[in-house]
Amino acid sequence: MVPGLRPPAETSEGDGMSELSTMILDRIRDVPDYPKPGVMFKDITPLLGDPVAMAAVVDGLAGLYEVDKIVGIEARGFILAAPVAYRAAAGFVPVRKKGKLPAATLEESYDLEYGSATIEVHRDAFTPGDRVLIVDDVLATGGTAQAAVELVRRAGGEVVGIAVLMELAFLEGRERLDGIPVHSLVIV
């Protein structure tokens, strides 16, 4: 077991769905053709509006590792990562779209399932050697998470894992994140 790793949260498909997986799946709404034709958007707002489900999700994501910092990816990642950081007694670090952070930044560009983007982090966001968990809502192609990993490493942090609410397995994002533990509360 990795040092600091607590008992694993739900990460698997196939061996029967847990109560948490069912609770999550029941509260994520598929919105076809948003934000553009051909994309099935996973809308997490019904989940966010349910305090019991939200608490279970935050606990599930916060119990994975002992870390110094939780990185949240703009924008839906922030909504999950901030309470996870509080719950894990860790600091919160925002990774934002280019041009939004006020002080000196590092940046990475990447391709999305729809379009492309550049994300940034403050250069001084981490103390060298900080153990970092990256949190987002959906893992799709893995481009965003991969760029976030690069940013954290360049800024001096040690990425111990990536935790997401939902993984879209057919896009094989996990394959791009070679060597980094990926924890998904639900895999579809």
Q: Which residues have a catalytic role annotated? A: 76, 113
Per-residue buried b or exposed e for 123-136, using 16+ beta carbons within 10 Å of the residue's own CB:
eebbeeebbbbbbb
Residue listed under structure tokens 């900080």: 130
Answer for the pair 102, 130: CB distance below 8 angstroms, yes or no.
no
Which one, 32 or 128, has the nearer CB to ligand AMP? 32
Which one, 3 or 80, has the nearer CB to ligand AMP? 80
Peptide linkage before 94 cis (omega within 30 of 0): no
Which one, 143 or 161, has the nearer CB to ligand AMP? 143
Which one, 31 or 89, has the nearer CB to ligand AMP? 31
Token code pair at residue 26? 């029941």
Q: How far is the CB of 100 from ligand AMP (least distance, A)?
A: 15
Q: How far is the CB of 168 from ligand AMP (least distance, A)?
A: 6
Helices (H), 35-116: 45-48, 51-62, 76-87
Report the C-alpha dihedral over residues 67, 148, 84, 128, rounded to 10 degrees: 30
Answer for the pair 145, 159: CB distance below 8 angstroms, yes or no.
no
Q: How far is the CB of 106 from ligand AMP (least distance, A)?
A: 18
Q: Contact residues for ligand AMP (CB under 6 A)?
A: 39-42, 73, 76-77, 112-113, 136-145, 173
Q: How far is the CB of 173 from ligand AMP (least distance, A)?
A: 5
